[in-house]
Amino acid sequence: MIRMFLVIALSLAIALGASWIISLPGNVTIEAFGYQMQPGLGLTVFGLILLMLLTIFVWAILRRIFGIPALFSRAAAKRKHNRGVDALSNAIIALQTGDPAKAKQLAREARVKLNGNSAAQLLEAQASVKLGNWNDAREQYRDMIANPDTAVAALTGLYEQARQQGREDAALKFAQKAVTLAPKLEWANEAVFNDLTKNEQFEDALEHLTNMPSSRADRAKIKRLDGVLRTAIAKRDEESDPDKAIQFANDALKRIPEFVPAALIAARIYINRGEVRKTSGLLRRVWRADPHPHIAMLYANAQPGASAVERLKRTKSLVAETTNNLEAQIVLATAAIEAHEWDLARAALQQYVDDNPTQAVCALMAQIEQGQTGDQGKARAWLGRAITAASEKSWIADGISSDEWEPTSPLTGKLDAFEWKAPQRAMSKQSAATANSGTSKDVKDEVAAISSDAKSPETDRTAPQ
């Protein structure tokens, strides 16, 4: 209803305007080809307006007629573009479903129909990689590097290809180039960082880590890696440059307050400087957060020249701050044995001897039986149990154990790979039988051997023969 009212109103307005124009007073004299006309002014204006509208209408018709070839051309181009898009979509599906040959064919078709589309070229290169056509893929990627819009994608492909072929040096170069083009690129930054740590270029790795962009979610991870790198530098320079080492160790503890390796390095340097109070305060603080046996052992020996009784006293004061901690009780029992406090050593281990005792517990019980009662039979019985008992915790990375923490894995070079945990221990029946039947060795020798193994567990440890 409203639309009809508007149409009627518009028609009336046009009619009113036309009648007003026609009724304009005055005449116009027109002379042409020997003829003379004197139409009214209004009629002349109205005629001109009609002539203009007619001219526009005729021109529109002629333009449409002459534009028919271009219209057909655009329609053909659109159909070609649509076929190219379809080919590109089907190529993606084919590559995802495990048909790289079809994906490569469709990607090439898409490139032709889409005038060298970058996505189609990238897809063709990926399909070539899947097919093992390394040279074709490399050429595709190198062509894409020349285009700033596709350079990073090309470097990503070249990096993955180089890694699959085992060309680590080439992969690193591609990652470094990608970092220069896109400083926030995660995989490239990670690749450069891993190479620096693998080659123990810890200062450069720390600088690279500082300049790496990180999200709020990654801040905790970056902070830990920063602390680990500083600990690595401190460990490396502990003997050659203790001043630098103590600075980096303390900086590491600011980032990871409970990090045992950094605390041990700092404590050893303080001990060498004769700063026993600083050593004790630092070790006690870290012990409360992480009661690590190495912390307790270093705390007991923080006072140079201390007797076994004095070391036991220090150990008791530290261990008293923890409850139900096996490793703490093992350290206490070890100190008690050294001080010949047999009852205290036995009491420390009492709650652990009946419930699957570990290797260290069995070895220490053998020492207690040997030292307190002299009972060779009980000592050997504990040695027999030690052979098949669970191993003690040690620093382990990629199945390799170490007496001390190391910043990188010796197998993969990965940073912060070492964890304090019990190794998987396999043992043959033959070695167990030999250990249980052997009588030629003195019990003390066997106890010492197993005790040494218990303190420094190895993944490939075998029973003493």
Q: Would you call 301 helix, strand, or coil by DSSP?
A: coil
Structural domains in the chain, CATH included, are: 83-182 (1.25.40.10), 353-403+416-465 (no CATH)
27 - beta bridge partners?
Answer: 40
Eight-state DSSP code of residue 358: B
How much of the chain, in percent, has pLDDT values that exceed 70?
A: 89
Does 208 have pLDDT greater than 50?
yes
Burial (0-12, 13-18, 19+ Cβ within 10 Å), 30: exposed
Tokens, residue 328:
């703490």
Q: How confident is the model at residue 454 (pLDDT cuts 50, 70, 90)?
A: very low
Mean pLDDT of 253-266: 96
How high does pLDDT run on average in the chain? 84
Cα separation of 455 and 172, whole Å?
40
Cα separation of 338 and 448, whole Å?
13
What beta strand segments (E) does 140-234 contain? none
Placement of tokens 């085992």 in the chain: 166
The secondary structure of 118-133 as a DSSP string is HHHHHHHHHHHHHHT-
Give residue-wise pLDDT tens across range 318-330.
999 888 899 999 9
CA 194, distance to chain mean position in Å, is 10
Per-state percent for the chain, helix, strand, coil, to nearest 5: 70, 5, 25
Residue 280 contacts by C-beta under 8 Å, 6 or more apart in sequence? 299, 302
Give residue-wise pLDDT tens across range 67-105.
788 778 888 888 888 888 898 899 899 988 889 899 989
419 - beta bridge partners?
Answer: 396
Does 66 have pLDDT greater than 90?
no
Q: Would you call 36 helix, strand, or coil by DSSP?
A: strand
Mean pLDDT of 368-391: 90
Cα separation of 133 and 129, whole Å?
6
CB 206 within 8 A of CB 233: yes
pLDDT score, position 425: 56
pLDDT score, position 21: 65
Residue with the bigger pLDDT between 445 and 156: it is 156
364 - beta bridge partners?
Answer: none
Distances (CA, A) of 292 to 83, 190, 197, 299, 452: 67, 31, 26, 11, 18
